[in-house]
Amino acid sequence: MIGFLKGKILDSSQNEVLLDVNSVGYLVETAGVTILEGIEELSLYIYTHVREQELKLFGFGTKDDLKVFQKLLSVSGVGPKSALNLIDSHGAKAIVHAIVQEDPKGVKATGIGEKTAKKIILELKSKIEDLGIAYEYHDTVPSKPSVGSGVKNEVIEALLSLGYSQGEADRVVDQLDIQKEDEVTDLVKRALAL
Q: What is the pLDDT of residues 20-29, one digit of tens each?
A: 999 999 999 9
pLDDT band per the 50, 70, 90 thresholds, residue 36:
low
> pTM score, two decimals?
0.67
Q: How far apart are CA 94 and CA 142, in angstroms?
A: 7
In the predicted model, is pLDDT for residue 132 greater than 90?
no
Name all domains of the chain by residue range, CATH numbers in brackets.
4-60 (2.40.50.140), 63-137 (1.10.150.20), 149-193 (1.10.8)
Express each pLDDT in 156-180 by its tens digit.
Answer: 888 877 777 777 787 888 888 877 6
* Integer CA distances (angstroms), 150 to 36, 95, 113, in order: 15, 13, 19
